[in-house]
Structure 1
Amino acid sequence: MHKVLRSIMKPWVKALMAIGLVIALSFGHAGGALAAGGGRIGGGSFRAPSRSTYSAPRSYAPGGGYGGGYGGGYGGGFGLPFLFPVFGLGGGAGGLFSILIFLAVANFLVQSFRRSRSDDDSLGYSAENPTISVAKLQVGLLAEARELQSDLNKIAQKADTSSTTGLAEVLQESTLALLRHPEYWIYAGSTVQQTRLEAAESQFNRLLIAERSKFSGETLSNVNNQLKQASSGLAVAEKGGALAQADGPGEYIVVTLLVGSQGKLELPKVNSSDDLRQALQQLGGVSSDRLLALEVLWTPQAEGEVLTSDDVLVQYPDLKLV
């Protein structure tokens, strides 16, 4: 009986030990990964996007120029009598010809209106709740790309993050900094979600909080034109086992771009360096009049520090080799 029970329990004991080992390793890695500080550049808001609208001419009282509405004579507006000033409604062929002209003009106006609405829909406009794209692009680079950390630090220190024009410049400069180091690209991943304006901010913030939580702290940040930088002593104190000096293989820098944009923004699924190059170019091409919010995050922020392969594996499991 004892042997039977032991044979039954043995597989369960092994399974429990394996599960316990996985949990222990995961928590051990996660704890180490939190030792890395990061940098952050961002700003913007999800206000209703501005768009040019057509305003109808003002109507004036009869006798004061153009009148009020369709119907009322030349002095009272562009109406039916205006189209039939000579022929009249009972003029036989002339009247029929005038009616046909009126129908053609009316059809032209209706079709123009429909085309205008269709163009607005293709750009993501839908009354007061337009379509918004929330995109995330992440790039893991070999630690040898130390110039990138310096480039992002300089962008953060001089950027104007209080306006969409300044944020668009940050986006262009950040994507250019990444495009200049293709020889160091090793991992990447992209996602784009289409949502409505009322839900876009919460979706954007959810992604942002998830990325910021991977830092032990933000040692350099410029958000809404508020520049903050940790002292060198604090930055040194935040170093931990997850950080290593950038002089060996298997060490990385990770950059994350979060973009909230009006209309439909499509990024390719990143499976190769060509896909990554195309995604960076498309993201960097978002114009200031479409850009609503931007966050550029990178870790580690301090020059000469990197993430280990274990950190990347635990904190960025969705990244693919490119």
Structure 2
Amino acid sequence: MHKRLFAWIKPLLKPLLVSFLVITLVLGQADSALAARSGGRIGGGSFRVPTRTAPAPRTYAPPGGGGYYPGGGGFGFPFIVPIFGFGGGGLFTLLLFMALASFIVRSFRAASSSDEYGYTTTSPKVSVAKLQVGLLAQARELQTDLNRIAQRADTSSSEGLAQVLQETTLSLLRHPEYWIYGGSESQQARLESAEAQFNRLTLAERSKFSEETLSNVNNLLQEAEKRKALAASGELAMPENPSEYIVVTLLVATQGKLELPDVKDSQDLRKAISQLGAVSSDRLLAMEVLWTPQAEGDTLSAEDVLVGYPELRLV
């Protein structure tokens, strides 16, 4: 009896399994759509740093005198020759030869890294840093600050980007009681590869948004039509559940060395935020501030944070 029943059910198992998988995928996509998040973005910059610097002006000595001669450094031979010709020597002569040798070595090094016009062609080192802060949803003032910064900021200049960075970090430092998660990473690279790394990080963060509802990049302001979540009564729903969060991401590319601390607690997070806020405009190449949710009524659950930002740590 059991064998007959199994023989009758067996042909139906495969279609049932396929149907189950299809239904699971459909429901999974529906859940993803329901969990879609709005995002805000502020930033800009350029990696076109001058890689050539003009040579130092050359100084010429008066005719017949000692001192400096064409080439820009070291004592000329007319000053050294009399020493040998009239009994000079000893420690002073040795020091003069050491200075001359050092000058010659520096000249060869400069020549090896210069083009035919005398400009240096070495590629500068660039630091690319990422800092993320997860805050409780009660930090609504932070969202208001970021919206205001995005709407008013001048993101077409390094000075304006530095001001955005300072205002954003200052706003974060004003809400330490809402800090829950933190994470950082930083690395150094040559100019050519640093731009690719910065763009990769930016795209990775932007891909977590279903829509950028507010954006000010390179002074191009774009704002989507406001979306409001309505409760059953028709009133605006403003979620204040402690299990809902806001995630802010800071991406910075700067000349020279910038090494953020590994975020393990709130003190590390404070130090990292302060370091980014202190980057000067003359070193800043590019900067992005991204945050989610941005639109009113959107929420970010604990599950969303775990799935979208698995590298964050509790602070």
TM-score range, shorter chain: 0.7 to 0.9
SS at match of 2:49: coil
Q: Match for residue 162 of structure 2?
A: 168
Q: Match for residue 10 of structure 2?
A: none
Q: How many residues align?
A: 282
CA distance in 2, matches of 1:273, 1:48: 35
Q: Match for residue 34 of structure 2?
A: 32
Q: Match for residue 137 of structure 2?
A: 143
Q: Match for residue 185 of structure 1?
A: 179
Q: 1:49 to 1:27 in 2, by over 3 A?
A: farther
Q: 1:268 Cα deviation (Å)? A: 1.0
Q: Match for residue 43 of structure 1?
A: 44
CA distance in 2, matches of 1:203, 1:53: 29
Q: 1:56 Cα deviation (Å)? A: 3.7
Q: 1:221 Cα deviation (Å)? A: 0.9
Q: Match for residue 317 of structure 1?
A: 310
2:248 equivalent to 1:267: no
TM-score normalised by the chain length of structure 1: 0.74
Tell me the alpha carbon deviations over residues 124-183 of structure 1, each in whole angstroms, 9 at most, x when there is no partner: xx9522221111111111110000000001111111111111111111110111110011
CA distance in 1, matches of 2:92, 2:177: 71
Q: 2:123 aligns with which of 129, 152, 164?
A: 129
Tell me the alpha carbon deviations over residues 11-54 of structure 1, each in whole angstroms, 9 at most, x when there is no partner: xxxxx99xx799888756544333x1111100001113579765
Q: 1:27 to 1:133 in 2, by over 3 A?
A: farther
Q: Match for residue 96 of structure 2?
A: 102
CA distance in 2, matches of 1:320, 1:26: 27
Tell me the alpha carbon deviations over residues 295-320 of structure 1, each in whole angstroms, 9 at most, x when there is no partner: 00011112453212222122111111
Tell me the alpha carbon deviations over residues 96-135 of structure 1, each in whole angstroms, 9 at most, x when there is no partner: 6773352143266579999x9xxxxxxxxx9522221111
Asked whether the equivalents of residues 58 and 70 of structure 2 are also in contact (C-alpha less than 8 Å), the reply is no
Query: One-letter code of the match for 1:139?
Result: V
Q: 1:193 to 1:32 in 2, by over 3 A?
A: farther
Asked whether the equivalents of residues 182 and 269 of structure 2 are also in contact (C-alpha less than 8 Å), the reply is yes
2:278 equivalent to 1:288: no
CA distance in 2, matches of 1:201, 1:230: 28
| Gap runs ≥5 in structure 2 | 4-16, 111-119, 230-236
Farther-moved stretch of structure 1 (302-311 vs 262-271): 302-311
CA distance in 2, matches of 1:219, 1:312: 19
Q: 1:202 Cα deviation (Å)? A: 1.0
CA distance in 2, matches of 1:26, 1:61: 84
Q: 1:297 to 1:249 in 2, by over 3 A?
A: same
Q: 1:296 to 1:51 in 2, by over 3 A?
A: farther
TM-score normalised by the chain length of structure 2: 0.76
CA distance in 2, matches of 1:96, 1:51: 42
Asked whether the equivalents of residues 61 and 68 of structure 1 are also in contact (C-alpha less than 8 Å), the reply is no
Asked whether the equivalents of residues 45 and 286 of structure 2 are also in contact (C-alpha less than 8 Å), the reply is yes
Farther-moved stretch of structure 1 (44-53 vs 153-162): 44-53
- Report the identity percentage: 59
Asked whether the equivalents of residues 30 and 314 of structure 1 are also in contact (C-alpha less than 8 Å), the reply is no
| Gap runs ≥5 in structure 1 | 3-15, 71-76, 117-125, 238-243
CA distance in 2, matches of 1:247, 1:98: 78
SS at match of 2:85: coil
CA distance in 1, matches of 2:69, 2:103: 19
Q: 1:195 Cα deviation (Å)? A: 1.6
Q: 1:60 Cα deviation (Å)? A: 9.9
Asked whether the equivalents of residues 30 and 315 of structure 1 are also in contact (C-alpha less than 8 Å), the reply is no
Query: One-letter code of the match for 1:80?
Result: F
SS at match of 1:276: helix
Q: Match for residue 158 of structure 1?
A: 152
Q: 2:85 aligns with which of 64, 81, 90?
A: 90
1:196-275 counterparts in 2 under 5 A?
Answer: 196-232=190-226, 235-236=227-228, 245-275=238-268
Query: One-letter code of the match for 1:299?
Result: T
CA distance in 1, matches of 2:205, 2:71: 56
CA distance in 2, matches of 1:98, 1:268: 49
